[in-house]
Amino acid sequence: MSITIKTMSLKNRGLNMRPSMRLSMKPSMGLNRGTQTAAKKGIVCALLAAAVFFAAFPAFGASIEERILNAWTRKGEYNEGSGLQSVALKVTYYSAEYIEALVRSEAEKNLWTKDEEERYKYNLLKTLNLEECIAFHVDFNTSGTPVFLQPFGRHLKLYAGKKILEPVDYDKRFNFKLQGQRDGMIWFPRYDEKTGKNLLEGVKELRLLISGSISQATTKTGDIRFVWNITGDDPSTLNAGTAASRLELDRLIKRLEKLSAEKSALQQQMDAIDKELSEIDNRVDELQRQ
């Protein structure tokens, strides 16, 4: 193929613009019809191959945020043999990477200003309470006969290395009859209650176990297990920006209130001791004067 470039002047149209370039494509006289046909077939084959590739990898065209969000989410579908009940389950671990991607995704989607983005991040981090807890989001979607999860907490265990953790809190709506879609949060302790040690220190993998007895659809399959590799996950990377500063301020105010309450309690004890000492001194003086 040869390309002929022609310059078209726009002055006669009254437009004060630079000349535009017009491309005219003409078949080269040196190519026979058979060669042209083969070239067209090659182009078609290449386009079909590209279509198959993108169909096989739908996430290839997804944004970076979407790929990160999907990477920290686990899914499972379960069906009762006779078709009476089906359960679709989706669980997300709130890693630092996931949280940052979620904030960016929501900001882009809603065209937020920086202040709005920081406000959303602040409210999200406040809800997750990562300073004290390990947070998960659970999404149930059921059809057929209802599912009864009450009490939901006894169906959950989190394996952090060799340690087995039980939830400290969860969305209490899971304790009611479940039919259709319902989602909510689960929180596990981040620190050992007795020693104060970080329970995730040195842990490379988290395994969330949900009892298979939660429904007829999952009874035969047994306990449901979802696994996350948390190597490199560091919540302290979230300690930047306005949202982190506001959370730190909240923590400091909460600490001040706690210390003030302790001081008040100690002062009351001191006042009681001083009163008793004064009464004893007075009694000693009375006895010495006798």
**27-54: pLDDT as tens digits:** 444 445 555 555 555 554 454 444 444 3
Measure CA 69 to chain center.
7
Domain around 111: 64-238
Residue 260 in domain = no
Q: How far, in Å, CA of 89 to CA of 128, rounded?
A: 20
Query: Do 27 and 135 fall within a single domain?
Result: no
Q: Does the pTM exceed 0.85?
A: no
Query: Do 106 and 79 fall within a single domain?
Result: yes
Count up the domains in the chain and report the number: 2
Q: 56, 76, 100 — which closes off a domain?
A: 56
Query: Do 19 and 72 fall within a single domain?
Result: no
pLDDT score, position 33: 54
Query: Do 52 and 75 fall within a single domain?
Result: no
pLDDT score, position 6: 39
Residue 213 in domain = yes
Q: What is the identity of the amino acid at 72?
A: W
Is residue 224 classed as helix, strand or coil in its secondary structure?
Answer: strand
Q: 213, 238, 263 — which closes off a domain?
A: 238
- Residue ranges in the chain whose pLDDT is less than 50: 1-31, 44-45, 47-60
pLDDT score, position 237: 87
Residue 256 in domain = no
Q: 56, 80, 95 — which closes off a domain?
A: 56
Query: Do 52 and 71 fall within a single domain?
Result: no
Q: Is the separation of the CB atoms in 214 and 155 below 8 Å?
A: yes
Query: Do 86 and 222 fall within a single domain?
Result: yes
For residue 48, CA distances in Å to 11, 34, 52, 151 come to 45, 21, 6, 53
Query: Do 220 and 112 fall within a single domain?
Result: yes
Query: Do 92 and 208 fall within a single domain?
Result: yes
Query: Do 188 and 150 fall within a single domain?
Result: yes
Query: Do 7 and 71 fall within a single domain?
Result: no
pLDDT score, position 156: 98
Query: Do 209 and 75 fall within a single domain?
Result: yes
Query: Do 106 and 78 fall within a single domain?
Result: yes
